[in-house]
């Protein structure tokens, strides 16, 4: 029989180090402050948690539920995910039965229905849930986590307080990654952790998964190993491409892009990395007004790629336009 320690060691780090208290949540200080105030008074409305993936929406709801319900948490929380069937029948049967269930709770507390990825629910299911929210408002509160709150029908939005989450800063991600590295005694070099933070792009779940995958696969966290595991366009290649654009070497810049495209990276992968590297590029080598023009051209390119025009020709055009921006900047031409 496996011991508790051995079971714990096989847990994904994203679960092993998931916060259980509101004050352990990383980032989004304003949203966390609102949750702490709700937990202190016990006065919790129906809630919509909106924001990108991997930034702590579901974790925040669970932390709030643990704080409010204490030992009754197990019986008083119904969690449904996008992987579950959540059509109109689930709302009419499963959610309704849970709302009707008698549970002994602390005074002034309510049962909580957590609907993860709520924006993927059908419109009919959302309409049915609207009525359920009204009927059982005395006993049950609904917490909906979604990436895009506009996909939730307006009648439900008007019945809920919306809590908006944003991507975590690189510093916030790095602080939590450092704590995990110390506890797990992971051998690393600083550029390895920088690579983990870069690949995460403000997504804590991605950061911990990438860190664990690199540690499991190579036993040592350095830049090379992280990018092997994550299989993203290497930012150094992108940085070289931008340097050639700043020098007006369009052919050399194109060679770097062609190298990444030939390696199998999609245009969306490449353009996303180009944007992130440009945003953090050395301000001495790339003046602010040039950086803004670069980002504008990258934005146009991203829009075209999003429309399906993702050929190598588009990326060659981007290299040419970036070189043209530099030429215009040197000539003092305002466009």
Q: Per-residue pLDDT tens for 229-265?
A: 888 888 899 999 999 999 989 999 999 999 999 988 8
Mean pLDDT of the chain, nearest integer: 87
pLDDT for res 7 = 42
- Whether 104 and 70 have beta carbons less than 8 Å apart is answered as no
* Residue 168 DSSP class: P
What number of residues does the chain have?
A: 335
Tell me what pLDDT residue 82 has.
64
Q: pLDDT, tens digit, for every residue of 144-190? A: 999 888 889 999 999 999 999 999 999 999 999 999 999 999 899 99
Instruction: Determine the straight-line distance between the first and last CA of the chain, rounded to whole angstroms.
Output: 71
Please give the structure tokens belonging to residue 133: 């929210």
Question: At residue 334, does pLDDT exceed 70?
Answer: no
208 closest CA partner among 241, 174, 242: 174
pLDDT at 133: 87
Query: Which are the contacts of 151, defined by CB distance < 8 A and separation ≥ 6?
Result: 119, 120
Write down all domains in the chain, each with its CATH number in brackets: 4-164 (3.40.50.300), 170-230 (1.10.8.60), 235-331 (1.20.272.10)
- Cα separation, 324 vs 333, in Å, equals 11
Instruction: Evaluate if residue 90 carries a pLDDT over 80.
Output: no
DSSP conformation class of 94: I
Residue 271's CB: how many other CB atoms inside 10 A?
Answer: 26
What's the pTM?
0.82
Mean pLDDT score, 188-205: 91
Q: Measure the CA–CA gap between 268 and 112, rounded to whole angstroms.
A: 39
Tell me, what's the pLDDT at 8?
Answer: 52
Tokens, residue 272: 């996303």
Q: Residue 2: pLDDT band by 50, 70, 90 thresholds?
A: very low
Place 9 in a pLDDT band, splitting at 50, 70 and 90: low
Average pLDDT on 39-56 reads 89
DSSP letters spanning 18-58 = ---SGGG--S-HHHHHHHHHHHHH----EEEEES-TTSSHH
Question: By C-alpha distance, which of 64, 61, 68, 128 is closest to 103?
Answer: 68
pLDDT single digits (tens) 105-131:
888 888 999 988 888 888 888 888 888
β-strands 111-115, 77-80 pairing: parallel
Measured CA distances, 150 to 49, 124, 129 (Å) = 12, 16, 17
pLDDT at residue number 1: 38
Structure tokens at 328: 């215009």
Mean pLDDT for the stretch of residues 11-38:
90
């Amino acid at each position: 029989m496996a011991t508790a320690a051995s079971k714990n060691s096989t847990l994904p780090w994203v679960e092993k180090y998931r916060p259980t208290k509101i004050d352990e949540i990383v980032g989004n200080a304003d949203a966390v402050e609102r949750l702490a105030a709700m937990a202190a008074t016990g006065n919790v409305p129906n809630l919509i948690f909106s924001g990108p993936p991997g930034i702590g929406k579901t974790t925040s709801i669970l932390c709030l539920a643990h704080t409010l319900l204490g030992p009754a948490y197990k019986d008083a929380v119904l969690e449904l995910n996008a992987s579950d069937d959540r059509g109109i029948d689930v709302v009419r049967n499963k959610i309704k039965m849970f709302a009707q269930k008698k549970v002994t709770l602390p005074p002034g507390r309510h049962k909580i229905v957590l609907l993860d990825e709520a924006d993927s629910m059908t419109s009919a299911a959302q309409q049915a849930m609207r009525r359920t929210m009204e009927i059982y408002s005395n006993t049950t509160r609904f917490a909906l986590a979604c990436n895009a709150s506009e996909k939730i029908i307006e009648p439900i939005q008007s019945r809920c307080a919306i809590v908006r989450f944003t991507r975590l800063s690189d510093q916030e991600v790095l602080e939590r990654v450092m704590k995990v590295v110390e506890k797990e005694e992971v051998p690393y070099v600083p550029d390895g952790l920088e690579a983990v933070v870069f690949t995460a792009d403000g997504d804590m779940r991605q950061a911990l998964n990438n860190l664990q995958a690199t540690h499991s696969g190579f036993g040592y966290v350095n830049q090379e190993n992280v990018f092997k595991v994550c299989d993203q366009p290497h930012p150094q290649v992108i940085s070289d491409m931008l340097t050639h654009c700043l020098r007006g070497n369009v052919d050399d810049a194109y060679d770097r892009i062609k190298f990444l495209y030939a390696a199998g990276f999609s245009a969306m992968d490449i353009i996303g990395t180009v944007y992130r590297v440009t945003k953090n590029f050395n301000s001495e080598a790339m003046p602010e007004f040039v950086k803004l023009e670069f980002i504008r051209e990258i934005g146009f390119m991203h829009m075209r790629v999003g429309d399906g025009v993702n050929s190598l020709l588009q990326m060659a055009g981007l290299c040419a336009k970036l070189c043209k921006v530099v030429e215009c900047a040197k000539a003092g031409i305002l466009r």
